[in-house]
Structure 1
Amino acid sequence: MLICLITSYKNLSGGQKINIDDLDVGTKLLFEKAYYSFEGCDNRSEGYYVLAPIYKKKDSYVRILKRGVIENKASIVTDTKSKKVKSTKEDFGKQIGLSSISWTNEESVIIILEKKILDEIVNIQFNINNRYSYLGEFCAAKYLKESLVFERVPHSNSTEKPMVIFSSNMKAVTEYLDENEGNISEKRVYVIGDKWFSNGQFSNLLTLEDACDDFGIPLTVFSSVPSVMDELKFKFLKKMEKEFCWLEFEEFSKMEISFEFVSS
Protein backbone atom coordinates (compact mmCIF):
# COMPACT_ATOMS: atom_id res chain seq x y z
CA MET A 1 0.00 0.00 0.00
CA LEU A 2 2.89 2.35 0.76
CA ILE A 3 4.03 2.04 -2.86
CA CYS A 4 0.59 3.22 -4.01
CA LEU A 5 0.61 6.18 -1.63
CA ILE A 6 4.09 7.23 -2.75
CA THR A 7 3.14 6.89 -6.43
CA SER A 8 0.02 8.97 -5.89
CA TYR A 9 2.04 11.63 -4.06
CA LYS A 10 4.59 11.79 -6.89
CA ASN A 11 1.81 12.35 -9.40
CA LEU A 12 -0.07 14.95 -7.40
CA SER A 13 3.07 16.91 -6.48
CA GLY A 14 5.00 16.48 -9.73
CA GLY A 15 3.92 19.70 -11.44
CA GLN A 16 3.17 17.90 -14.71
CA LYS A 17 0.48 19.25 -17.03
CA ILE A 18 -0.95 18.62 -20.47
CA ASN A 19 0.18 20.56 -23.55
CA ILE A 20 -2.69 21.97 -25.60
CA ASP A 21 -0.57 21.81 -28.75
CA ASP A 22 -0.59 18.01 -28.42
CA LEU A 23 -4.39 17.75 -28.23
CA ASP A 24 -6.54 16.75 -31.18
CA VAL A 25 -10.06 18.05 -31.63
CA GLY A 26 -12.33 15.57 -29.88
CA THR A 27 -9.79 14.58 -27.21
CA LYS A 28 -11.65 13.67 -24.02
CA LEU A 29 -10.64 15.64 -20.95
CA LEU A 30 -11.46 15.62 -17.26
CA PHE A 31 -11.79 19.22 -16.09
CA GLU A 32 -13.12 20.33 -12.71
CA LYS A 33 -14.67 16.92 -12.00
CA ALA A 34 -16.62 16.76 -15.28
CA TYR A 35 -15.88 15.40 -18.76
CA TYR A 36 -15.40 17.57 -21.83
CA SER A 37 -14.43 17.27 -25.46
CA PHE A 38 -11.60 19.54 -26.61
CA GLU A 39 -12.88 21.59 -29.56
CA GLY A 40 -9.78 23.61 -30.38
CA CYS A 41 -9.32 27.39 -30.59
CA ASP A 42 -12.18 29.78 -30.03
CA ASN A 43 -12.76 31.70 -33.27
CA ARG A 44 -13.82 34.87 -31.47
CA SER A 45 -11.19 35.13 -28.74
CA GLU A 46 -7.50 34.75 -29.47
CA GLY A 47 -5.67 32.63 -26.91
CA TYR A 48 -8.85 30.94 -25.71
CA TYR A 49 -9.94 27.34 -26.27
CA VAL A 50 -13.30 25.59 -26.25
CA LEU A 51 -14.36 22.68 -24.05
CA ALA A 52 -17.75 21.15 -24.84
CA PRO A 53 -19.49 19.02 -22.19
CA ILE A 54 -19.81 15.38 -23.18
CA TYR A 55 -22.92 14.85 -21.08
CA LYS A 56 -25.72 17.39 -21.39
CA LYS A 57 -26.94 18.28 -17.91
CA LYS A 58 -28.67 21.26 -16.34
CA ASP A 59 -25.41 22.55 -14.88
CA SER A 60 -23.24 21.78 -17.94
CA TYR A 61 -22.24 24.37 -20.49
CA VAL A 62 -19.55 25.10 -23.06
CA ARG A 63 -16.38 26.46 -21.45
CA ILE A 64 -14.18 29.02 -23.23
CA LEU A 65 -10.93 29.19 -21.30
CA LYS A 66 -7.38 30.43 -21.48
CA ARG A 67 -4.68 27.97 -22.43
CA GLY A 68 -3.05 27.98 -18.99
CA VAL A 69 -6.29 27.20 -17.16
CA ILE A 70 -6.88 24.08 -19.24
CA GLU A 71 -3.27 22.91 -19.12
CA ASN A 72 -3.06 23.26 -15.34
CA LYS A 73 -6.43 21.78 -14.42
CA ALA A 74 -7.30 19.22 -17.10
CA SER A 75 -6.16 15.68 -17.76
CA ILE A 76 -6.60 13.37 -20.73
CA VAL A 77 -8.90 10.41 -20.04
CA THR A 78 -9.32 7.09 -21.79
CA ASP A 79 -13.06 6.95 -21.16
CA THR A 80 -15.88 9.02 -19.68
CA LYS A 81 -18.88 8.51 -17.43
CA SER A 82 -21.92 10.62 -16.71
CA LYS A 83 -21.43 10.55 -12.96
CA LYS A 84 -19.49 13.52 -11.60
CA VAL A 85 -16.00 12.69 -10.32
CA LYS A 86 -15.43 12.95 -6.57
CA SER A 87 -12.97 15.48 -5.15
CA THR A 88 -10.90 12.80 -3.39
CA LYS A 89 -7.66 13.55 -5.26
CA GLU A 90 -7.81 17.21 -4.32
CA ASP A 91 -8.72 16.36 -0.73
CA PHE A 92 -5.86 13.87 -0.48
CA GLY A 93 -3.48 16.49 -1.87
CA LYS A 94 -4.57 19.01 0.76
CA GLN A 95 -4.23 16.42 3.50
CA ILE A 96 -0.60 15.79 2.58
CA GLY A 97 0.17 19.50 2.43
CA LEU A 98 -0.16 20.36 -1.28
CA SER A 99 -1.67 23.74 -2.10
CA SER A 100 -2.38 22.58 -5.67
CA ILE A 101 -2.13 19.26 -7.47
CA SER A 102 -1.12 17.95 -10.88
CA TRP A 103 -3.86 16.13 -12.75
CA THR A 104 -1.77 14.09 -15.19
CA ASN A 105 -0.73 10.62 -14.04
CA GLU A 106 2.82 10.52 -15.38
CA GLU A 107 4.26 8.29 -12.64
CA SER A 108 3.06 4.69 -12.80
CA VAL A 109 4.29 1.29 -11.61
CA ILE A 110 3.43 -2.41 -11.80
CA ILE A 111 2.82 -4.35 -8.58
CA ILE A 112 2.69 -8.15 -8.56
CA LEU A 113 1.08 -9.66 -5.48
CA GLU A 114 -1.39 -12.35 -4.48
CA LYS A 115 -5.01 -11.61 -5.39
CA LYS A 116 -6.27 -12.15 -1.84
CA ILE A 117 -3.89 -9.44 -0.59
CA LEU A 118 -4.97 -7.07 -3.35
CA ASP A 119 -8.63 -7.62 -2.45
CA GLU A 120 -7.86 -6.50 1.10
CA ILE A 121 -5.88 -3.44 0.01
CA VAL A 122 -8.46 -2.02 -2.40
CA ASN A 123 -11.19 -2.24 0.24
CA ILE A 124 -9.30 -0.37 2.97
CA GLN A 125 -10.86 3.00 3.72
CA PHE A 126 -9.01 6.24 4.47
CA ASN A 127 -10.39 9.20 6.38
CA ILE A 128 -9.79 12.08 3.97
CA ASN A 129 -11.38 15.44 4.70
CA ASN A 130 -13.77 13.79 7.17
CA ARG A 131 -15.01 11.40 4.51
CA TYR A 132 -14.09 7.74 4.12
CA SER A 133 -12.49 7.04 0.75
CA TYR A 134 -10.90 4.08 -0.98
CA LEU A 135 -7.37 3.86 -2.35
CA GLY A 136 -8.58 3.79 -5.96
CA GLU A 137 -10.26 7.16 -5.58
CA PHE A 138 -6.91 8.96 -5.35
CA CYS A 139 -4.62 6.33 -6.89
CA ALA A 140 -6.20 5.13 -10.14
CA ALA A 141 -5.44 1.47 -10.82
CA LYS A 142 -6.16 -1.42 -13.17
CA TYR A 143 -5.77 -5.17 -12.80
CA LEU A 144 -3.88 -7.21 -15.41
CA LYS A 145 -5.66 -10.55 -15.25
CA GLU A 146 -4.05 -12.38 -18.14
CA SER A 147 -2.23 -11.62 -21.37
CA LEU A 148 -3.22 -8.03 -22.24
CA VAL A 149 -6.59 -8.43 -20.50
CA PHE A 150 -7.22 -5.61 -18.02
CA GLU A 151 -10.01 -5.39 -15.48
CA ARG A 152 -11.33 -2.54 -13.39
CA VAL A 153 -10.12 -2.32 -9.79
CA PRO A 154 -12.98 -1.76 -7.30
CA HIS A 155 -13.53 1.89 -6.31
CA SER A 156 -10.98 3.15 -8.86
CA ASN A 157 -11.74 5.85 -11.42
CA SER A 158 -11.52 3.72 -14.56
CA THR A 159 -11.49 6.73 -16.89
CA GLU A 160 -8.05 7.90 -15.76
CA LYS A 161 -4.69 6.64 -16.88
CA PRO A 162 -3.72 4.23 -14.07
CA MET A 163 -0.99 5.10 -11.60
CA VAL A 164 -0.70 1.42 -10.68
CA ILE A 165 -1.17 -1.79 -12.63
CA PHE A 166 -1.78 -4.68 -10.23
CA SER A 167 -1.40 -8.30 -11.26
CA SER A 168 -1.33 -11.75 -9.70
CA ASN A 169 -0.15 -13.31 -12.95
CA MET A 170 3.59 -13.01 -13.47
CA LYS A 171 3.44 -14.50 -16.98
CA ALA A 172 0.89 -11.85 -17.96
CA VAL A 173 3.22 -9.07 -16.81
CA THR A 174 6.12 -10.55 -18.80
CA GLU A 175 3.89 -10.79 -21.89
CA TYR A 176 2.78 -7.18 -21.35
CA LEU A 177 6.43 -6.07 -21.37
CA ASP A 178 7.31 -8.23 -24.39
CA GLU A 179 4.24 -7.23 -26.41
CA ASN A 180 5.07 -3.55 -25.96
CA GLU A 181 8.82 -4.16 -26.35
CA GLY A 182 9.35 -2.39 -23.05
CA ASN A 183 7.79 0.81 -24.39
CA ILE A 184 5.44 1.28 -21.45
CA SER A 185 4.72 4.18 -19.11
CA GLU A 186 5.26 2.11 -15.95
CA LYS A 187 8.69 2.92 -14.54
CA ARG A 188 9.26 0.04 -12.11
CA VAL A 189 8.01 -3.46 -11.37
CA TYR A 190 7.48 -4.54 -7.76
CA VAL A 191 7.17 -8.21 -6.76
CA ILE A 192 5.69 -8.67 -3.29
CA GLY A 193 5.43 -11.89 -1.27
CA ASP A 194 6.94 -15.34 -0.82
CA LYS A 195 4.71 -17.07 -3.37
CA TRP A 196 6.91 -16.01 -6.28
CA PHE A 197 9.93 -17.83 -4.82
CA SER A 198 8.13 -21.17 -4.63
CA ASN A 199 9.19 -23.97 -6.97
CA GLY A 200 6.14 -23.48 -9.17
CA GLN A 201 6.67 -19.72 -9.62
CA PHE A 202 10.40 -19.07 -9.40
CA SER A 203 11.06 -19.86 -13.07
CA ASN A 204 8.44 -17.23 -13.98
CA LEU A 205 10.23 -14.75 -11.73
CA LEU A 206 13.52 -15.43 -13.53
CA THR A 207 11.81 -14.89 -16.89
CA LEU A 208 10.32 -11.62 -15.66
CA GLU A 209 13.73 -10.49 -14.42
CA ASP A 210 15.22 -11.18 -17.86
CA ALA A 211 12.48 -9.13 -19.54
CA CYS A 212 12.94 -6.22 -17.12
CA ASP A 213 16.69 -6.35 -17.69
CA ASP A 214 16.27 -6.40 -21.49
CA PHE A 215 14.01 -3.35 -21.44
CA GLY A 216 15.82 -1.43 -18.71
CA ILE A 217 12.91 -1.52 -16.27
CA PRO A 218 13.97 -1.69 -12.59
CA LEU A 219 12.69 -4.67 -10.60
CA THR A 220 12.25 -4.52 -6.82
CA VAL A 221 11.47 -7.59 -4.70
CA PHE A 222 9.88 -7.88 -1.25
CA SER A 223 9.89 -11.29 0.46
CA SER A 224 10.65 -13.01 3.75
CA VAL A 225 14.13 -14.34 4.51
CA PRO A 226 13.18 -18.07 4.64
CA SER A 227 11.73 -17.92 1.11
CA VAL A 228 15.10 -17.04 -0.43
CA MET A 229 17.33 -19.37 1.56
CA ASP A 230 19.03 -21.30 -1.21
CA GLU A 231 21.92 -20.63 -3.58
CA LEU A 232 19.88 -20.07 -6.76
CA LYS A 233 17.65 -17.49 -5.09
CA PHE A 234 20.65 -15.76 -3.52
CA LYS A 235 22.16 -15.40 -6.98
CA PHE A 236 18.89 -13.93 -8.22
CA LEU A 237 18.74 -11.37 -5.41
CA LYS A 238 22.36 -10.40 -6.01
CA LYS A 239 21.34 -9.02 -9.42
CA MET A 240 18.54 -6.89 -7.99
CA GLU A 241 18.93 -3.14 -7.76
CA LYS A 242 16.76 -3.23 -4.63
CA GLU A 243 15.43 -6.07 -2.53
CA PHE A 244 13.77 -6.09 0.87
CA CYS A 245 13.59 -9.27 2.93
CA TRP A 246 11.98 -9.57 6.33
CA LEU A 247 11.96 -12.21 9.04
CA GLU A 248 8.61 -13.35 10.39
CA PHE A 249 8.20 -13.04 14.16
CA GLU A 250 8.05 -16.81 14.72
CA GLU A 251 11.34 -17.32 12.89
CA PHE A 252 12.96 -14.35 14.61
CA SER A 253 11.96 -15.62 18.05
CA LYS A 254 13.83 -18.89 17.44
CA MET A 255 17.12 -17.17 16.66
CA GLU A 256 19.93 -16.71 19.13
CA ILE A 257 21.57 -13.32 18.78
CA SER A 258 24.83 -12.44 20.51
CA PHE A 259 26.81 -9.22 20.55
CA GLU A 260 30.54 -8.76 20.79
CA PHE A 261 31.71 -5.23 21.49
CA VAL A 262 35.02 -4.23 19.98
CA SER A 263 36.87 -1.17 21.19
CA SER A 264 37.77 1.35 18.51
Structure 2
Amino acid sequence: MHKNIRRFLAAAALLLPVAVFANEGGAHLDKAPIDLHNPESLQRGAQTFANYCLSCHSALNMRYNRLQDLGLTEDQIKANLMFATDKVGEQMKVAMQAPDAKVWFGAVPPDLSVIARARGADWLYTYLRTFYRDDTRPTGWNNIAFDKVGMPHALWELQGIQEPVYKTVKNHESGKEEQVLEGVKLVKPGLLTQISEDGKYDQTEYNKRVADLVNYLVYVSEPAQVKREQIGYFVLLFLLFVLVPISYLLKKEYWRDVH
Protein backbone atom coordinates (compact mmCIF):
# COMPACT_ATOMS: atom_id res chain seq x y z
CA MET A 1 0.00 0.00 0.00
CA HIS A 2 2.75 2.43 1.00
CA LYS A 3 4.77 1.45 -2.07
CA ASN A 4 1.83 2.30 -4.34
CA ILE A 5 1.42 5.67 -2.63
CA ARG A 6 5.11 6.45 -3.14
CA ARG A 7 4.83 5.53 -6.82
CA PHE A 8 1.81 7.79 -7.20
CA LEU A 9 3.58 10.72 -5.53
CA ALA A 10 6.65 10.19 -7.71
CA ALA A 11 4.52 10.23 -10.86
CA ALA A 12 2.71 13.36 -9.69
CA ALA A 13 6.02 15.10 -8.99
CA LEU A 14 7.27 14.18 -12.45
CA LEU A 15 4.22 15.67 -14.13
CA LEU A 16 4.09 18.79 -11.95
CA PRO A 17 6.49 20.90 -14.08
CA VAL A 18 4.34 20.27 -17.16
CA ALA A 19 1.17 21.29 -15.33
CA VAL A 20 2.77 24.45 -13.94
CA PHE A 21 4.15 25.43 -17.34
CA ALA A 22 0.76 24.85 -18.96
CA ASN A 23 -1.00 26.97 -16.37
CA GLU A 24 1.45 29.81 -16.88
CA GLY A 25 0.78 29.88 -20.60
CA GLY A 26 4.30 30.47 -21.89
CA ALA A 27 5.51 30.71 -25.47
CA HIS A 28 3.87 29.07 -28.44
CA LEU A 29 5.27 25.54 -28.81
CA ASP A 30 6.05 24.04 -32.19
CA LYS A 31 5.10 20.41 -32.77
CA ALA A 32 8.07 18.07 -32.46
CA PRO A 33 8.23 15.42 -35.22
CA ILE A 34 8.79 12.48 -32.88
CA ASP A 35 9.26 9.03 -34.44
CA LEU A 36 10.66 6.41 -32.07
CA HIS A 37 10.46 3.82 -34.85
CA ASN A 38 13.11 5.65 -36.88
CA PRO A 39 16.49 4.18 -35.80
CA GLU A 40 18.48 6.50 -38.10
CA SER A 41 16.96 9.55 -36.41
CA LEU A 42 17.65 8.11 -32.97
CA GLN A 43 21.25 7.35 -33.92
CA ARG A 44 21.80 10.89 -35.17
CA GLY A 45 20.18 12.22 -31.99
CA ALA A 46 22.49 10.08 -29.84
CA GLN A 47 25.50 11.44 -31.72
CA THR A 48 24.37 15.05 -31.24
CA PHE A 49 23.70 14.39 -27.55
CA ALA A 50 27.16 12.85 -27.02
CA ASN A 51 28.94 15.65 -28.88
CA TYR A 52 27.07 18.72 -27.65
CA CYS A 53 25.13 17.87 -24.47
CA LEU A 54 27.05 15.20 -22.61
CA SER A 55 29.90 17.55 -21.73
CA CYS A 56 27.58 19.22 -19.17
CA HIS A 57 24.41 17.12 -18.91
CA SER A 58 24.34 13.47 -17.89
CA ALA A 59 21.68 10.88 -18.64
CA LEU A 60 22.21 8.41 -15.82
CA ASN A 61 19.16 6.29 -16.67
CA MET A 62 20.89 5.31 -19.92
CA ARG A 63 23.92 3.09 -20.42
CA TYR A 64 26.06 3.19 -23.54
CA ASN A 65 25.47 -0.47 -24.35
CA ARG A 66 21.72 0.18 -24.55
CA LEU A 67 22.46 2.11 -27.75
CA GLN A 68 22.85 -1.28 -29.41
CA ASP A 69 19.05 -1.40 -29.33
CA LEU A 70 19.18 1.43 -31.89
CA GLY A 71 21.17 -0.69 -34.34
CA LEU A 72 24.65 0.48 -33.34
CA THR A 73 27.49 -1.97 -32.77
CA GLU A 74 29.69 -1.87 -29.70
CA ASP A 75 32.63 -0.70 -31.83
CA GLN A 76 30.56 2.15 -33.29
CA ILE A 77 29.49 3.23 -29.82
CA LYS A 78 33.07 3.23 -28.53
CA ALA A 79 34.43 5.07 -31.57
CA ASN A 80 31.77 7.78 -31.91
CA LEU A 81 29.85 8.26 -28.68
CA MET A 82 32.04 7.47 -25.67
CA PHE A 83 34.12 10.45 -24.57
CA ALA A 84 33.81 10.33 -20.78
CA THR A 85 34.55 6.63 -20.18
CA ASP A 86 36.04 3.57 -21.84
CA LYS A 87 33.54 1.06 -20.44
CA VAL A 88 30.57 0.42 -22.70
CA GLY A 89 28.44 -0.68 -19.76
CA GLU A 90 28.85 2.65 -17.97
CA GLN A 91 26.06 5.16 -17.47
CA MET A 92 26.02 8.26 -19.66
CA LYS A 93 27.57 10.61 -17.12
CA VAL A 94 29.76 13.69 -17.43
CA ALA A 95 33.37 13.95 -16.37
CA MET A 96 32.76 17.41 -14.86
CA GLN A 97 32.46 17.39 -11.08
CA ALA A 98 29.34 18.85 -9.47
CA PRO A 99 31.22 21.43 -7.30
CA ASP A 100 33.03 22.74 -10.39
CA ALA A 101 29.77 22.95 -12.34
CA LYS A 102 28.17 24.95 -9.55
CA VAL A 103 31.06 27.43 -9.56
CA TRP A 104 31.12 27.80 -13.36
CA PHE A 105 27.38 27.86 -14.06
CA GLY A 106 25.85 28.82 -10.73
CA ALA A 107 24.03 25.47 -10.55
CA VAL A 108 24.69 21.88 -11.50
CA PRO A 109 23.31 21.18 -15.03
CA PRO A 110 20.37 18.79 -14.63
CA ASP A 111 20.40 15.17 -15.68
CA LEU A 112 18.46 14.76 -18.93
CA SER A 113 17.21 11.21 -18.44
CA VAL A 114 13.57 12.25 -18.07
CA ILE A 115 13.64 15.84 -19.34
CA ALA A 116 11.35 14.92 -22.24
CA ARG A 117 8.74 13.57 -19.83
CA ALA A 118 9.09 16.52 -17.47
CA ARG A 119 9.00 19.30 -20.07
CA GLY A 120 7.46 17.64 -23.11
CA ALA A 121 8.90 17.01 -26.57
CA ASP A 122 7.26 20.12 -28.07
CA TRP A 123 8.81 22.33 -25.40
CA LEU A 124 12.29 20.88 -26.00
CA TYR A 125 11.92 21.23 -29.77
CA THR A 126 10.91 24.89 -29.39
CA TYR A 127 13.50 25.63 -26.71
CA LEU A 128 16.47 24.35 -28.73
CA ARG A 129 15.46 26.48 -31.71
CA THR A 130 14.66 29.81 -30.02
CA PHE A 131 17.91 30.95 -28.41
CA TYR A 132 18.85 34.55 -29.16
CA ARG A 133 21.62 36.95 -28.26
CA ASP A 134 21.00 38.99 -25.10
CA ASP A 135 23.90 41.00 -23.72
CA THR A 136 22.05 41.53 -20.44
CA ARG A 137 22.38 37.85 -19.58
CA PRO A 138 25.57 36.42 -17.97
CA THR A 139 26.00 33.89 -20.78
CA GLY A 140 25.04 36.35 -23.52
CA TRP A 141 22.03 34.20 -24.47
CA ASN A 142 18.31 34.19 -23.73
CA ASN A 143 15.46 32.01 -24.93
CA ILE A 144 11.84 32.54 -25.96
CA ALA A 145 10.60 29.29 -24.38
CA PHE A 146 12.64 29.82 -21.19
CA ASP A 147 13.01 33.49 -20.37
CA LYS A 148 16.24 34.42 -18.53
CA VAL A 149 17.65 30.96 -19.10
CA GLY A 150 20.97 30.24 -17.42
CA MET A 151 22.17 27.81 -20.07
CA PRO A 152 24.25 29.09 -23.02
CA HIS A 153 23.32 28.08 -26.55
CA ALA A 154 25.32 24.86 -26.94
CA LEU A 155 24.27 24.41 -30.59
CA TRP A 156 24.95 27.98 -31.77
CA GLU A 157 27.71 26.90 -34.15
CA LEU A 158 25.20 24.67 -35.94
CA GLN A 159 22.30 27.12 -35.94
CA GLY A 160 24.11 30.44 -36.11
CA ILE A 161 23.18 33.56 -34.17
CA GLN A 162 19.63 34.83 -33.78
CA GLU A 163 18.51 38.23 -32.59
CA PRO A 164 15.18 39.16 -30.98
CA VAL A 165 12.38 40.78 -32.97
CA TYR A 166 10.17 43.19 -31.04
CA LYS A 167 6.81 44.71 -31.80
CA THR A 168 5.22 47.83 -30.36
CA VAL A 169 1.99 47.33 -28.45
CA LYS A 170 -0.14 49.62 -26.34
CA ASN A 171 -0.45 48.84 -22.65
CA HIS A 172 -4.20 48.94 -21.87
CA GLU A 173 -3.60 49.81 -18.23
CA SER A 174 -1.05 52.63 -18.60
CA GLY A 175 -1.97 53.68 -22.13
CA LYS A 176 1.73 53.77 -23.04
CA GLU A 177 3.42 51.97 -25.89
CA GLU A 178 5.92 49.25 -25.04
CA GLN A 179 8.18 46.79 -26.81
CA VAL A 180 7.15 43.13 -26.66
CA LEU A 181 9.23 40.20 -27.87
CA GLU A 182 7.57 38.81 -30.99
CA GLY A 183 10.10 36.26 -32.21
CA VAL A 184 13.66 35.80 -33.39
CA LYS A 185 15.49 36.09 -36.70
CA LEU A 186 18.74 34.54 -37.87
CA VAL A 187 21.38 37.21 -38.49
CA LYS A 188 24.50 35.05 -38.75
CA PRO A 189 24.35 31.62 -40.43
CA GLY A 190 25.63 28.47 -38.77
CA LEU A 191 27.17 25.29 -40.10
CA LEU A 192 23.74 23.83 -40.91
CA THR A 193 22.27 26.99 -42.40
CA GLN A 194 21.42 26.90 -46.08
CA ILE A 195 21.50 30.17 -48.00
CA SER A 196 19.24 30.60 -51.02
CA GLU A 197 20.17 32.50 -54.18
CA ASP A 198 18.33 35.58 -52.93
CA GLY A 199 20.31 35.53 -49.67
CA LYS A 200 17.59 34.16 -47.40
CA TYR A 201 18.53 31.81 -44.57
CA ASP A 202 16.99 28.34 -44.43
CA GLN A 203 17.18 26.48 -41.09
CA THR A 204 15.65 23.23 -42.34
CA GLU A 205 18.79 21.18 -41.68
CA TYR A 206 19.23 22.59 -38.20
CA ASN A 207 15.58 21.90 -37.38
CA LYS A 208 16.09 18.30 -38.50
CA ARG A 209 19.12 17.97 -36.24
CA VAL A 210 17.15 19.32 -33.28
CA ALA A 211 14.26 16.97 -34.11
CA ASP A 212 16.67 14.02 -34.01
CA LEU A 213 18.07 15.18 -30.67
CA VAL A 214 14.62 15.60 -29.13
CA ASN A 215 13.61 12.23 -30.57
CA TYR A 216 16.57 10.67 -28.77
CA LEU A 217 15.74 12.45 -25.49
CA VAL A 218 12.20 11.08 -25.69
CA TYR A 219 13.68 7.62 -26.25
CA VAL A 220 16.07 7.98 -23.30
CA SER A 221 13.21 8.87 -20.97
CA GLU A 222 11.73 5.41 -21.57
CA PRO A 223 13.96 3.11 -23.68
CA ALA A 224 11.55 0.17 -23.37
CA GLN A 225 8.61 2.14 -24.80
CA VAL A 226 8.88 0.78 -28.35
CA LYS A 227 9.21 -2.84 -27.19
CA ARG A 228 6.35 -2.36 -24.74
CA GLU A 229 4.12 -1.09 -27.54
CA GLN A 230 5.09 -4.07 -29.70
CA ILE A 231 4.20 -6.47 -26.89
CA GLY A 232 0.94 -4.59 -26.39
CA TYR A 233 -0.03 -5.05 -30.05
CA PHE A 234 0.80 -8.75 -29.81
CA VAL A 235 -1.36 -9.12 -26.70
CA LEU A 236 -4.29 -7.37 -28.40
CA LEU A 237 -3.98 -9.62 -31.44
CA PHE A 238 -3.85 -12.67 -29.16
CA LEU A 239 -6.98 -11.55 -27.33
CA LEU A 240 -8.83 -10.78 -30.55
CA PHE A 241 -7.96 -13.83 -32.64
CA VAL A 242 -7.28 -16.51 -30.00
CA LEU A 243 -8.93 -15.80 -26.67
CA VAL A 244 -12.18 -14.30 -28.02
CA PRO A 245 -12.93 -17.28 -30.35
CA ILE A 246 -12.10 -19.76 -27.57
CA SER A 247 -14.32 -17.86 -25.14
CA TYR A 248 -17.15 -17.84 -27.70
CA LEU A 249 -16.86 -21.60 -28.27
CA LEU A 250 -16.81 -22.24 -24.53
CA LYS A 251 -19.89 -20.08 -24.13
CA LYS A 252 -21.74 -22.05 -26.81
CA GLU A 253 -20.74 -25.32 -25.21
CA TYR A 254 -21.79 -24.17 -21.75
CA TRP A 255 -25.22 -22.91 -22.83
CA ARG A 256 -25.97 -25.76 -25.24
CA ASP A 257 -27.70 -27.91 -22.62
CA VAL A 258 -29.54 -24.94 -21.13
CA HIS A 259 -31.23 -24.03 -24.41
TM-score by length of 2: 0.27
How high is the TM-score relative to the length of structure 1?
0.27
Bigger Rg, which one: 2
Q: Which has the higher contact order (CA 8 A, sep 6+)?
A: 2
| Higher strand proportion | 1
